[in-house]
Amino acid sequence: MIKNIISGIKAYFGAFGLISKLKLWKYFIIPMIISFITAIAIFTSAYGLSDNVGAFISKIWFWDWGKETFTTISTFIGGLFIIVIGLVLFKHIIMALSAPFMSPVSEKIEAHLTGNTQHTHRNTSFIQQLWRGIRINGRNLLMELLLTIPILLLKFIPVVNIFSTILLFLVQAYYAGFGNMDYTLERHFKYQESTSFVRKHRGLAIGNGIVFILFLLVPVIGVIFVLPLSVTAATIKTVEALQTKSNLPNA
């Protein structure tokens, strides 16, 4: 799986050039606007809620001794909790709403990579692509929250919290990569088939998602360019995986 993770990361190196070569930037205008507006809405709300969550957590400590220390830790955990949940919501919202715009881009990249301009895959409409995006990302959001909340609680345990940070990052990365890969998979597989495919290629999903999450840490620029580059990188590796399984012709 490590090899696939590295492969998923390396795909980003050719993403910018491929977008420019195929003249795809115009297709990313609306998704980039969606990303920017969503980021402002979510992280503005998160900033205002962090102190409230920290104060709520601190109330579970009934004793006077250590109260100040626990309150400080609670404020930090509360802020971290809001940031993580904000990231989870952000990526699933933008990937769901951008599905009708990202799928055609993914299709053009696939045609370029395979040399196959004949539409032999599943034909889906704008509404179907949007509904598919909402369904996939809604499912992934639920699954990710079920995993994320218990991991965040491990932050209260010394030493263990170090490993929980790594685990939390990998979970975030997996579901980000999952969403990016599905823009290609939706043309070839139905819902359940796509989830099975990503599980078998979880390394590629994690590798793609690692860079996706790191992009979000770059102010403004990261939020704007995260979708174009991550979707392009995911399409490259997903098409390769499909070709390996003889589902697609080689160029």
Q: What is the DSSP string of 29-64?
A: HHHHHHHHHHHHHHHHHHHHHHHHHHHHHHTT---S
pLDDT for the residue 55: 64
Q: Is 161 left (phi over 0), alpha (psi -120 to 50) or beta?
A: alpha
Question: What does DSSP assign to residue 247?
Answer: S
**SS3 of 21, please?**
helix
Q: What's the token pair of residue 180?
A: 């990016």
Q: How far apart are CA 21 and CA 210, in angstroms?
A: 25
The pLDDT of residue 84 is: 76
**Residue 123 near residue 103 (C-beta atoms within 8 A):** no
Contact (CB, 8 A) for 173 and 212: yes
pLDDT, block means (10 residues), the chain with 251 residues: 91 92 90 87 72 64 63 70 79 87 89 73 69 85 87 74 85 93 89 90 95 88 89 95 69 49
